[in-house]
């Protein structure tokens, strides 16, 4: 499987809104409020254009048809802190069947490469609802380790507070894997 990460464009807004508002996708987000094209555009101007976030569209190569890429998901880095050299990695789930464990693992490796080789970060962290063991496993396979469990940290779609797990990986740990 071949995928690429390309920087997000404002024109990707309709896909982002569709993906993000799918109930199965939204259930994985710490902020489960629906988004609109307008709120996504505001987010783009406030966070993407300013560099607070680096968001990418994950595109799959249609290997059988030559070089033709199509979007399957989005991933991003947020809260990029150049003082402490750390940031948060977020995998934005999608209901696309090609956004599976294999493509997610590739996207995470590609993001870690950007984080450590291009942004020169010291540490990357990610948050996962405690109940989503598949996401936790994906991060652990990428070299992340569990740092802590944050009890009753985020509100789910039913209005109940749930536990969140914080995972992290440092540059040194990532280098040892390579």
Give pTM, 2 decimals: 0.92
Q: Name the fold adopted by 3-126.
A: Aminopeptidase (3.40.630)
Q: Which band of pLDDT confidence, cut at 50, 70 and 90, is reported for residue 65?
A: low
CB under 8 A, 24+ apart: contacts of 30-36: 30/127, 30/154, 30/164, 32/155, 32/156, 32/157
Distance CA 41, CA 138 (A): 30
For residues 70-92, average pLDDT: 94
Residue ranges of domains in the chain: 3-126
pLDDT in tens, 27-64: 889 999 999 999 999 999 999 999 999 999 999 887 66
Given a cut of 80, whether residue 152 has pLDDT beyond it is: yes
For residues 4-13, average pLDDT: 96
Given a cut of 90, whether residue 1 has pLDDT beyond it is: no
pLDDT in tens, 83-122: 999 999 998 767 778 888 999 999 999 999 999 999 999 9
What does the pLDDT read at residue 66? 62
């Amino acid at each position: 499987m071949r995928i690429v990460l390309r920087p997000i464009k404002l024109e990707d807004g309709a896909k982002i809104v569709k993906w993000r508002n799918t109930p199965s996708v939204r259930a994985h987000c710490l902020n489960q409020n629906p988004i609109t094209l307008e709120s996504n555009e505001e987010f783009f101007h406030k966070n993407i254009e300013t560099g607070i976030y680096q968001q990418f569209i994950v595109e799959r190569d249609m290997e059988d048809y030559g070089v033709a890429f199509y979007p399957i998901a989005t991933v991003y880095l947020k809260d990029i802190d150049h003082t402490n050299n750390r940031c948060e990695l977020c995998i934005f789930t999608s209901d696309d069947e090609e956004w599976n464990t294999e493509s997610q693992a590739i996207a995470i490796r590609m993001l870690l490469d950007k984080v450590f080789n291009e942004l020169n970060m010291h540490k990357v962290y990610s948050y996962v609802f405690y109940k989503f063991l598949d996401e936790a496993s994906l991060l652990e396979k990428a070299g992340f380790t569990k740092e802590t469990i944050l009890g009753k940290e985020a509100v789910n779609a039913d209005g109940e507070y749930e536990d969140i797990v914080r995972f992290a990986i440092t540059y040194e740990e990532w280098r040892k894997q390579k």
